[in-house]
C-alpha cells in the first residue's frame, strides 16, 4: 500500500477513524474495508504465514483466527490471479 493512498485518520471519542474505510455495523462492531493490490495481499499473507510458523503459544482462538486469515488471503490472491487473466 502506498502511503499517499491511505486515508488520513480522524480522532473521535478516543477512537481513530479512517474516513471511507471504517463503518459501524448494526451490532456496534467496527468494520474496515481495504482495497489491496495483489502485491499487498502477498505481503500480508507472508506476514500471517510467518506468525503461524513461529507461533509462540497463547490463546487458541488467535491461532485459529490467523489460520482463517491465511485461508482468506490465499483465496483473494487466487481470485486476483485468475480474475486478472479473464479465466472465468
Q: Is 20 in the same domain as 45?
A: no
Residue 8 neighbours by CB distance under 10 Å:
6
Mean pLDDT of 11-35: 66
pLDDT range class, residue 8, cuts 50, 70, 90: low
Quote the pLDDT of residue 2.
43
Q: Is 75 in the same domain as 48?
A: yes
Q: Is 27 in the same domain as 46?
A: no
pLDDT exceeds 80 at position 88? no
Range of the domain at 78: 38-84
Q: Is 44 in the same domain as 71?
A: yes
Q: Is the pTM of this model over 0.85?
A: no
Residue with cell 478516543: 14
Quote the pLDDT of residue 44.
94
pLDDT exceeds 70 at position 5? no
Amino acid at each position: 500500500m502506498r502511503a499517499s493512498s491511505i486515508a488520513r485518520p480522524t480522532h473521535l471519542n478516543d477512537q481513530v477513524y479512517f474516513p471511507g474505510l471504517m463503518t459501524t455495523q448494526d451490532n456496534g462492531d467496527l468494520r474496515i474495508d481495504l482495497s489491496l493490490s495483489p502485491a499487498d495481499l502477498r505481503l500480508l499473507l507472508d506476514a500471517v504465514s510467518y506468525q503461524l510458523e513461529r507461533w509462540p503459544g497463547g490463546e487458541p482462538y488467535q491461532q485459529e483466527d490467523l489460520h482463517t486469515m491465511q485461508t482468506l488471503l490465499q483465496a483473494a490472491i487466487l481470485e486476483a490471479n485468475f480474475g486478472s487473466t479473464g479465466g472465468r
